[in-house]
Structure 1
Amino acid sequence: MSFLAPDRLFKRVTSIDPVEDIKGAGFTHVLLDLDNTLLTRDTHEVPDDVRAWLDELDRLGIVACILSNNWHHGAHEWADRLGLPIVSHAVKPLPFAYRMAMKKIGAHRATTLCIGDQMVTDVWGAHGVGMKAYMVGSLVETDLWHTLLLRNLEGPIMGHMKPEK
């Protein structure tokens, strides 16, 4: 797979089967984007199916950490509500926050998967530190202006890719 494109593409985070696509693929740790991956950008809520998906990760012993460029206090409040550690102000795709998040949860890059809804930040950042990256569709279309601008880069690179599930 190309450095620029995700290793796998899914319709949304809950389309990823924790048993088959994560644990079965040899991953023991997951770095998760927050905005529009776990938390809707418009209503700032975590949908019930996303909560259930996170519970399944926990039941399987897969250790998760939120890795977010978000710098607002609400990101930490959501991490607390979900019972997940967080590294915010990540400045993804720069590598230091990926390393910090892995250290926080005792992870190694060979067995850590990054999951997020943006190619430039989540996929390129993960690939830059030698990790696999799954990209998911955004929970909602509402997004920040600069995120929408970056999404214009995704089309030419991912035009051929279709979500698996």
Structure 2
Amino acid sequence: MLARFTPTWMIDATYDIAPKELKQLGIRVVLTDLDNTLIAWNNPYGTEELREWMTALARENIRLVVVSNNSHQRIKKAVASLQLPYISRALKPLSLGIRRALKQYQVEASEAVMVGDQLLTDVAAANGSGVKSILVRPILPSDAWTTKFNRFAEKFVMRAIRHQHPELNFRKDLMNERD
């Protein structure tokens, strides 16, 4: 049961994920959650750091696609200034949204990675679809009200995962084992 919620990697922040390392791993598409992963849940404009990361991904010919449980209107408004493609109503933790993205962007599961800040939705959906997953720390310590229950439950799941996988810790990059 824990395997469904166990991330492939745990990285401190989305912007710490090096596009060159993704390229070396054969990744062609980065699927990412929106709120508290790509942008702060209460700030739809993003940051300069996000724009630099997006540029670095583009230099490596890696597409960035938002896969979110939010409505079409919410995501459209949030990513308008970023001009990012997206899959709305992804129904995470089900793998439907991720499978739609894989089909739409014509990539195999091995060529994609899902980045998210929640075990019970983002990581579960990635693992259910055979896509590698990167759990990141939330951008903000606060959440929208709809996420608070998941955060509470995740504490228990994370404790069990760390017991089973003591080597799994938040770190700065994908390739090195350092924290």
TM-score normalised by length of structure 1: 0.91
Contact 1:42/1:142 (<8 A) preserved: no
Contact 1:33/1:68 (<8 A) preserved: yes
1:72, distance to aligned residue in structure 2 (A): 5.5
Q: 1:163 aligns with which of 170, 173, 179?
A: 170
Residue type of the partner of 2:136? Answer: V
Give 2:119's aligned residue: 119
Give 2:142's aligned residue: 142
SS where residue 41 of structure 2 aligns? Answer: coil
Residue type of the partner of 1:143? Answer: D
Q: Indicate yes or no: 2:52 matched with 1:59.
A: no
SS where residue 153 of structure 1 aligns? Answer: helix
Alignment of 1:7-22 (within 5 A): 7-20=8-21, 22=22
Contact 1:65/1:105 (<8 A) preserved: no
| Greater Rg by CA | 2
**Runs of 5+ in structure 1 lacking a partner?**
none
Percent of aligned pairs with the same amino acid:
32
Alignment of 1:89-108 (within 5 A): 89-108=89-108
TM-score normalised by length of structure 2: 0.84
1:145, distance to aligned residue in structure 2 (A): 2.3
Residue type of the partner of 2:114? Answer: C
Give 2:33's aligned residue: 33
SS where residue 2 of structure 1 aligns? Answer: helix
Q: Deviations over 1:41-74 (max 9, x none)?
A: 1333312101110111111100121101111623
Give 1:132's aligned residue: 132
Q: Deviations over 1:52-103 (max 9, x none)?
A: 1011111110012110111162311333322221111111111221111112
Large movers: runs of 4+ above 3 Å: none
SS where residue 75 of structure 2 aligns? Answer: helix
1:111, distance to aligned residue in structure 2 (A): 0.9
Contact 2:115/2:135 (<8 A) preserved: yes
1:163, distance to aligned residue in structure 2 (A): 0.8
